[in-house]
Structures are given as C-alpha cells and as structure tokens.
Amino acid sequence: MSGAIRNRMQLHQQNIQSVLAEVFNHQPISRIEISRNLALNKSTVSSLYRDLKEQGYVEELGEGDASNVGGRKPVLLAINRRYGYTMNFDFGYRHLHVMQNNLSGDVLSYKQVNVKGLTLKQILPLINHELESVASQDNTSHGLLGISFAIHGTVDQNAVTYSPFLDMEHIDLADYYTKKFQVPVLLENEANVSAVYERDFNKANEQLQNMVTISIHRGIGAGLIIDQKLHRGTHGEAGEIGRSVLINGNWSDEPGKVEDFCSEDAIITQIQAAKNAENMSREDVVQLFKQGDEATKVALRGFVTSVAQIIYNTANSFDPDVVFLNSPLLEALPELEPQIESVYAKMAPTILIPVKLTHNSHYATLLGGCALVTREALGMEDANLNFEAQTTVL
C-alpha cells in the first residue's frame, strides 16, 4: 500500500522508469515499440524519452530497418554505455575477484587479485588500488555509480552478520565506501547475488517467477527468487539450508547438519580422512577422481546423492520453476551433474523441477552484484531489468 502510485507526479515518474526499463531490456529499441509494449501513446513515450535523454541515461544509436511494407525507419535507442560504471567485488578464498561494468551490465574489465592468507585489513588497500586505477582510466560522464561486494556469509541491513571464512574485523564496508565515494555500496550474500544473476542476465529465465540457486562452495546456501524478487528473509538469513538438521525426533542426539554431508569442505575432509592427507584442495579432489581413486569415488557418490536430496527438499519447500547449482566442484566435474539429476528424478516421481548448472560461477556472482547495485544507482530497486553481459569493451 505504501509503495503505491497515487498522483500524477508519481505516475509520471513511474512511466519514465518504465520507458528506461524498456530501453534497458530491449535495446536497441524504437520509441514506437516502447509505446506498444507499455500501451502508452507514442507522443507520451517521446516526451518521457526526452527527459531520460536530458539526464544522460539513454542515447540514439542510429536508424534501424524499416518495415517491409514501407514506412519511415525507426530511430534505435539504447542505454548510454558511457554514462558511468559500477565496481563489483567477490571475496573468494584465494582470490579477490574484481569486475568493472557499465550501466548496461557489460563487462568492462575483470581481474583476480591474490589474497590467500591475507586479512581484510590487508585486502582493503588492494580494493582501493583497483578502484583508483579504474577511476584514473575512466572516460564516462558520471564515473563511479556504485560498488557491490559478494559475501560468503550472511548480510543484514547492508552489514555482514556472519562470515565463517573471512574475519570481517568489525569493518563496515558499506559505511567506509559510501563515505569515501558518495555512491551506493551494497553487500549481499553470494548465493543471493548468484540467484539474481540467473534472473537478470539470462534471457531464458525472463518469464520464470521462482528460482532457487543452490550455492555449494566451502559451505552451502541457497539464493531464492520468489515472484521475481530476491527473498532475503527478515534477517537476511533465508536460504541458509546448510545449517538445516536431519529430523530424527531424538532429544539427546546431536542431529547431523546438511553442510556435513555435501559442502565442498565436507567432501575434502572425508577424502583427507580416508587418505590420511592434509590441506587438500578442490583441484586435488578433481585429479584424484580423474585418476579413478576409490575413496574419492565413494565420497563423490555421497556428494551426488546428498545434492540430489537437497534439490528434492528444496523443490518441496519452494516449488520453483528451476533449480540452479552454483558449484565450482561440479563445474570442474560436469559428469556428476547428470548423475545428480538421475538420483533426483528417482525421488520425485511426479513433478520434476529442471536442474541446471550455473556456468562460470565467479562471473555469476559478480554480475549479480552488478545488477543489484546498478538498480540502486538508478533508483529503480524494484524494476524488472534484463542485463546482457557483453564483454565488448568500448
């Protein structure tokens, strides 16, 4: 009720944003096409577009093809790719991933910075260096528009509330960078941004209302898109399925946790125990598996089954259109994916939710953050925007 449009001014603002969203989602597009899509009179669209052009958000690309029955050529409109850029970061275990994107979500640059073993205080100067180096080469009209950070932990009210893999040392990233640059700074859980990526960067998912992205990294969590909106939960903890316990009805037993069965860490721990090894990495697991190592095969068979069971439970809880798996381990061993699907199919005899792998999970994470912070920069938090990650650098 509170967010409802009530008067002409608000209506006008919303219509301007609708036109901008149309340009965003269907660029290059003509005025007349926007007019048809939005059921607004073409003169109204022309007028609204003029406003957007004055603000610099959009630009004319040139003429398109005329209809094949005659008529004037349309003028093609698009997002102004030189308006500004966002900076998007992902705190990985070994690397800090850095991506620069324009207003339209195109990748302007991507870089991995080695941060293995570093504390957050030691990482901050590296982040600042990236921000400065990009700023110095910038030739856009409005420069930096926003910054996003993907967090492998939970986030509430734009602050990290739980971070098992990186000590946040009570540093408030949002506060620090907002003060430094006066732009929106956004922290978001990694599974959540990955889910946003699937919603916003994948044309195939445009019509889907509900999606779950199960992120299997060192821990395990889910990003939830419900009615095309990211569901964060009341405390930003929705989708923390890794903490779930196995219902056993037993008062005294400490119930097992999902994470103990199918996080990447759990699998590695299991193989290390069997092989009396230490400090194994994902790459070691992949190599052992490819060498046909028996203990690894057993562990990964358990992994496959657990993941299938998680998919089944998730499907029962959320009933999404599709389940995505964002897992570097699965990305490295794609042959496991059909096995997961087959185990899952045996469990779910009637309704089968399609299962898909998220490819290039680091890009997904960064682009999801880009999508969220770009919306903030535009003041269009609730708009349906379809981004297209073109790696063409202008």
Partner DNA sequence: TTGTGAGTTGGTTGTTTGAACAAACTAATT
Partner DNA sequence: AATTAGTTTGTTCAAACAACCAACTCACAA
Binding site for DNA (CB under 7 A): 6-9, 11-12, 15, 30-33, 39-44, 46-48, 63, 66-75
Distance, in Å, from the CA atom of 280 to the CA atom of 268, rounded to the nearest integer, reads 7
Q: Which of 43, 141 has the CB closer to DNA?
A: 43
Q: Contact at 8 Å (CB) between 368 and 335?
A: no
Which of 59, 172, 321, 388 forms a contact with its own copies (CB under 8 A)? Answer: 321
What backbone torsions phi and psi does residue 391 show, to the nearest 5 degrees? -85, 5
- Is 241 near its own copies (CB under 8 A)? yes
Per-residue binding letters, 122-161, with its own copies (x by CB under 8 A): ----------------------------------------
Of these partners, DNA, its own copies, none, which one is at the site of residue 233 (CB under 5 to 8 Å by kind)? Answer: its own copies
Which of 310, 333, 340, 372 forms a contact with its own copies (CB under 8 A)? Answer: 310
Q: Which of 89, 324 has the CB closer to its own copies?
A: 324
Cβ at position 162, least distance to its own copies in Å: 8
Q: Contact at 8 Å (CB) between 213 and 191?
A: yes
Closest to 201 (Cα-Cα) out of 71, 374, 67, 74: 374
Site for its own copies in 57-76 (CB under 8 A): none
Which of 167, 169, 175, 319 forms a contact with its own copies (CB under 8 A)? Answer: 319
What DSSP element (H or E) covers 31? helix 31-38
Q: Which of 140, 154 has the CB closer to its own copies?
A: 154
Q: Contact at 8 Å (CB) between 218 and 165?
A: yes
Q: Which of 201, 261 has the CB closer to its own copies?
A: 261
- How far are the Cα atoms of 101, 113, 117 from residue 137, in angstroms, in the given order? 14, 19, 30
Cβ at position 317, least distance to its own copies in Å: 6
- Is 312 near its own copies (CB under 8 A)? yes
Candidates 60-68, 133-141, 220-228, 358-366; binding stretch for its own copies (CB under 8 A): 220-228
Parallel/antiparallel/unpaired status of strands 185-189 and 144-151: parallel
Closest to 210 (Cα-Cα) out of 224, 193, 192, 189: 224
Residue 66 DSSP one-character state: P
Closest to 197 (Cα-Cα) out of 185, 184, 183, 215: 215
Cβ at position 364, least distance to its own copies in Å: 22
- Is 231 near its own copies (CB under 8 A)? yes
Of these partners, its own copies, DNA, none, which one is at the site of residue 241 (CB under 5 to 8 Å by kind)? Answer: its own copies
- Secondary structure tally for the chain: helices H, strands E: 13, 14
- Is 95 near its own copies (CB under 8 A)? no
Q: Contact at 8 Å (CB) between 191 and 199?
A: no
Q: Which of 63, 382 has the CB closer to DNA?
A: 63
Distance, in Å, from the CA atom of 310 to the CA atom of 289, rounded to the nearest integer, reads 23
H helices present in 245-281, as ranges: 259-262, 264-275
Q: Contact at 8 Å (CB) between 169 and 120?
A: yes
Contacting positions for its own copies (CB under 8 A): 1, 4-8, 11, 14-15, 18, 21, 38-40, 162, 209-210, 222, 226-227, 229, 231-241, 243-251, 255-256, 258, 261-262, 301-306, 309-310, 312-313, 315-321, 343, 347, 350-351, 383-384
